[in-house]
């Protein structure tokens, strides 16, 4: 590997808010001479972030588990540079639909590219030639719903109604997901746009039975990969 990401074969995964935000993750190995950081998350529980189940009124310890999700064997659509794109059907109670998952190897690099207004997706694309993947990071009409930090600059402050969770990235911690009440300024990249936090199979915020299930997206972190997931209901 060299220090030039345009020269090396890299993997780029882009979490894109097509209206205002773009969050990119590069699943490339560290530059030559830079080994894994000892403080980077290696255990799945650590990688998922520090989530305190008693942090605020939305935290819900001992919540009833939702019905099990049944999924078919995924179909591999694309594999390039360590990035994998898969599609599979899912069923949750009486609902069913399609899921698309992109997995990116860790370690990686995340970037947030805020915009002041609704912006064409082509203007939010990363300079890196890829391969890369895109996923919604939040659609907004008048502004971001919560915290937005890009290149160490806070563009939008933390909001109590901006989402229960915050996705962040730093060179020492790597990617993390934490409850908004556990947020401490410091990571150069952060995005508050997470309605539900799930840790070790348990939801850490209150379920909303009336929430529409037409289409949802998610970010997941395991010990060695970052997952981008988009789901659509067949009834939508």
Confidence label for 37 from pLDDT (cuts 50, 70 and 90)? very low
Burial 49-68 (b: 16+ CB within 10 A, else e): bebeeebeebbeeeeeeeee
Does position 87 have pLDDT exceeding 60, yes or no?
A: yes
pLDDT score recorded for residue 73: 93
* Mean pLDDT of the 131-151 span: 72
Does position 13 have pLDDT exceeding 60, yes or no?
A: no
**Contact present, 128 and 223 (Cβ < 8 Å):** no
Q: What is the pLDDT of residues 60-79, one digit of tens each?
A: 445 566 678 899 999 999 99
* Mean pLDDT of the 46-66 span: 44
* Mean pLDDT of the 37-49 span: 33
Q: Which of 48-62, 144-158, 222-236 comes out lowest in average pLDDT?
A: 48-62
Q: What is the pLDDT of residues 144-178, one digit of tens each?
A: 778 888 889 998 899 888 788 888 888 888 888 88
Confidence label for 205 from pLDDT (cuts 50, 70 and 90)? confident
pLDDT score recorded for residue 5: 30
Global pTM? Answer: 0.67
Does position 83 have pLDDT exceeding 80, yes or no?
A: yes
Alpha-carbon gap, residue 220 to 175, rounded angstroms: 10
pLDDT score recorded for residue 9: 30
- Closest by CA to 138, choosing from 8, 39, 15, 25, is 15
* Mean pLDDT of the 84-94 span: 91
Does position 131 have pLDDT exceeding 80, yes or no?
A: no
> Which of 29-33, 42-46, 62-66, 188-192 has the largest mean confidence?
188-192
Which DSSP state fits 54?
T
């Amino acid at each position: 590997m060299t220090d030039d990401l345009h020269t090396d074969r890299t993997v780029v995964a882009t979490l894109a808010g097509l209206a205002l935000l773009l969050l990119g993750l590069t699943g490339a190995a560290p530059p030559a001479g830079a080994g894994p950081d000892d403080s980077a998350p290696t255990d799945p529980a650590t990688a998922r972030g520090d989530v305190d189940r008693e942090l605020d009124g939305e935290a819900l310890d001992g919540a009833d588990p939702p019905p099990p999700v049944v999924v078919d064997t995924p179909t591999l659509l694309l594999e390039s540079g360590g990035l994998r794109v898969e599609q599979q059907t899912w069923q949750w109670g009486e609902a069913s639909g399609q899921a698309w998952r992109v997995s990116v190897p860790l370690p990686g690099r995340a970037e947030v590219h805020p915009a002041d207004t609704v912006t064409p997706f082509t203007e939010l694309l990363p300079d890196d030639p890829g391969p890369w993947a895109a996923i919604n990071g939040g659609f907004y009409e008048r502004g971001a719903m919560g915290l937005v930090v890009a290149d160490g600059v806070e563009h939008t402050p933390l909001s109590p109604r901006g989402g229960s969770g915050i996705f962040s990235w730093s060179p020492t911690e790597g990617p993390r997901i934490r409850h908004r009440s556990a947020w401490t300024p410091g990571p150069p990249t952060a995005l508050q746009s997470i309605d539900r936090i799930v840790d070790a199979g348990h939801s850490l915020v209150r379920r909303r039975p009336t929430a529409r299930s037409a289409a949802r997206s998610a970010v997941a972190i395991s010990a060695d990969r970052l997952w981008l997931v988009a789901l659509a209901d067949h009834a939508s």
